[in-house]
Amino acid sequence: MKNIIVTLAVGAALATAAIAHEDVKNPTVKARMELMGKVKDATGVLGGMAKGEMAFDEAKATAAKAALVEHAAAIPAAFKANETDPKSTAKAEIWLNWADFTEKAAALGTAAEAMDTSAQEQLGAGMGGVGGSCAGCHKVYRIKK
């Protein structure tokens, strides 16, 4: 039953994200929003397992970690073009402080790479670094929703 609820919640979140991106006119902005959605999905799996909200599955945790590392590496390229859209939550500070922004993206990848996905207890420790990286970037470079 718990797995069904988690599956429905994840499905609803993905549907909401897809609808939110539907109105984005700029394809560059839409692509980077979709990338950040993938980051959110991977961290959601890892965080859910770490908190015990979903059953720990080492293979799924390892796959989510690999996805997070891959997506973090893609962030600079996705944001390289200084483009905007009314639906975008990216602040102009990204392009004004490009070196810092790319360092923060690299820090996310480093934190994800360092995660131990062999047991639920290890995920919690690793999620601290990942969450800190996400928050550090969002506080400076993302418009609050």
pLDDT tens track, the chain, 145 positions: 444 443 444 444 444 444 456 789 999 999 999 999 999 999 999 999 999 999 999 999 999 999 999 999 999 999 999 999 999 999 999 999 999 999 999 999 999 999 999 999 999 999 999 999 999 999 999 999 7
* pTM of the predicted model as reported, rounded to 2 decimal places: 0.84
CA distance linking residue 88 with residue 95, whole number of Å: 14
Q: Can you read off the two tokens belonging to residue 100?
A: 């810092």
- Which residues pair with residue 142 across a beta bridge? 90
- The Cα–Cα gap between 25 and 40 comes to 22
Amino acid at site 136: G
125 neighbors 75 (Cβ within 8 angstroms):
no
DSSP code at position 86: T
Q: 2-141 adopts what CATH topology?
A: Four Helix Bundle (Hemerythrin (Met), subunit A) (1.20.120)
Q: Are 100 and 68 in contact (CB under 8 A)?
A: no
The radius of gyration of the chain from alpha carbons, rounded to an integer in Å, stands at 16
Q: Coil, strand, or helix at residue 90? A: strand
Q: What stretch of H or E contains 61?
A: helix 58-79
